[in-house]
Amino acid sequence: MDPYKRLQLARKNGRPSGRYYIENLLTDFVELHGDRRFGDDPAIMAGVGLLCGHPVTVIAHEKGGDIRDKAHRNFGSANPEGYRKALRQMKLAEKFHRPVLCIVDTAGAFAGMGAEERGQGQAIAENLMEMMTLKTPIVSVFVGEGGSGGALALAVADEVWMLENAVYSVISPEGCASILWKDASKVKEACACLKMTAEDLLDMGVIEKIIPETQPETICETLKAQIDMTFRELSALSPEERCERRYRRFRRLGVFGE
């Protein structure tokens, strides 16, 4: 399928976002709010629940359902307090020895005045650093859009998976088109250049797995079984081994001459 069609599917109105996966992957979910610094960011949902009977921490972008909910959740574009809430939950997961599941679905971190005033760059940077040495297993699943640093801030993980029609990119195709051709409407061309589909990323070794998109219920069943299995495998390693593997996972990425 051409990359532009994938982008449209990834962004399609009504496509399940974070909350759907929380509700369908976990039981006994308790949502936990706030970053204890500034506020609670509805663009990121977080909490604890049971996955196949095991307590896990889940952190998910949620784009929102109807238009009011979408506005409330800022269309899934988090402010710094969202990333700080996520980090707080990860630290709790570490304390209580439970793995972390991240569900990524965002066009990107919010580019607003408040976000800048409260240190959007610093908040993302801190997550990247802290996730790299978090002692518990982390799996990140991209279910829709994966926009740049705002997506990566929930994706410094032991394994990163993508749904078949999810995308993951360093810049939005609109942004890329306006820089390259001074024309934001050339999205189609930009999509092809950026290599942002799940297949592209698997080829480049940036993700471990593509989850085929069948019916939403079937996707959740597949995901649940595979996440459970991966958490078991990762839990068999010592925290030091896991952190070393995670470091190596990212350390090898990059193409250059020497």
Partner 1 sequence: MLNKMNFKKNRNQLEGYNQALETSAPSVPDALFTKCPECGRTTLTAELAENELVCPKCGYHIRIPARSRLLALCDEGTFQEWDAGLFSKDPLSFPGYAAKVKGSRLKTRENSAVVTGEGKLAGMDCAFFAMEGQFMMGSMGSVVGEKVTRVFERAAERGLPVIGFTVSGGARMQEGILSLMQMAKTSGAVKRHSDAGLLYVTVLTNPTTGGVTASFAMEGDIILAEPGALVGFAGPRVIEQTMRQKLPKGFQSAEFLMEKGFLDGVVPRSEMKETLTTILRLHKGGSSYGSV
Least Å distance between CB 49 and partner 1?
27
CA distance 136 to 34: 22
Q: Which residue, 112 or 212, has its beta carbon nearer to partner 1?
A: 112
Is residue 206 at the binding interface for partner 1, with CB under 8 A as the rule? yes
Q: Name 82's Cβ contacts closer than 8 Å, sequence gap at least 6.
A: 35, 41, 43, 44
Of the candidate residues 156, 166, 198, 234, the single one contacting partner 1 (CB under 8 A)? 156
Q: Which residue, 220 or 237, has its beta carbon nearer to partner 1?
A: 237
Nearest 5°: the CA angle 139, 144, 149 is 65
Least Å distance between CB 120 and partner 1?
4
Q: Which residue, 52 or 132, has its beta carbon nearer to partner 1?
A: 132
Q: Restricting to residues 124-153, name those near partner 1 by CB under 8 A.
A: 124-126, 128-130, 132-133, 148-149, 152-153
Specify whether the CB–CB gap between 142 and 102 falls below 8 A: no
Least Å distance between CB 170 and partner 1?
4
Q: Which residue, 25 or 138, has its beta carbon nearer to partner 1?
A: 138
Q: Which residue, 45 or 115, has its beta carbon nearer to partner 1?
A: 115
- Cα–Cα distances in Å, from 121 out to 83, 124, 127, 151, 231? 10, 5, 10, 13, 30
CA distance 87 to 77: 16
| Gap between the terminal Cα atoms of the chain | 36
Q: What are the structure tokens assigned to 123, written together? A: 């908040």
Least Å distance between CB 252 and partner 1?
9
| Segment near partner 1 (CB under 8 A); pick from 38-46, 94-102, 117-125, 217-225 | 117-125
Of the candidate residues 44, 138, 201, 219, the single one contacting partner 1 (CB under 8 A)? 201
- Cα–Cα distances in Å, from 173 out to 3, 32, 227? 11, 34, 30
Nearest 5°: the CA angle 162, 94, 105 is 25
Least Å distance between CB 251 and partner 1?
6
Burial of 111 (0-12, 13-18, 19+ CB in 10 A): exposed
Q: Restricting to residues 169-198, name those near partner 1 by CB under 8 A.
A: 169-171, 175-176, 179-180, 193-196
State the residues that interact with partner 1 by CB under 8 A. Answer: 109-113, 115-122, 124-126, 128-130, 132-133, 148-149, 152-153, 156, 168-171, 175-176, 179-180, 193-196, 200-201, 204, 206, 246-247, 250-251, 253-258
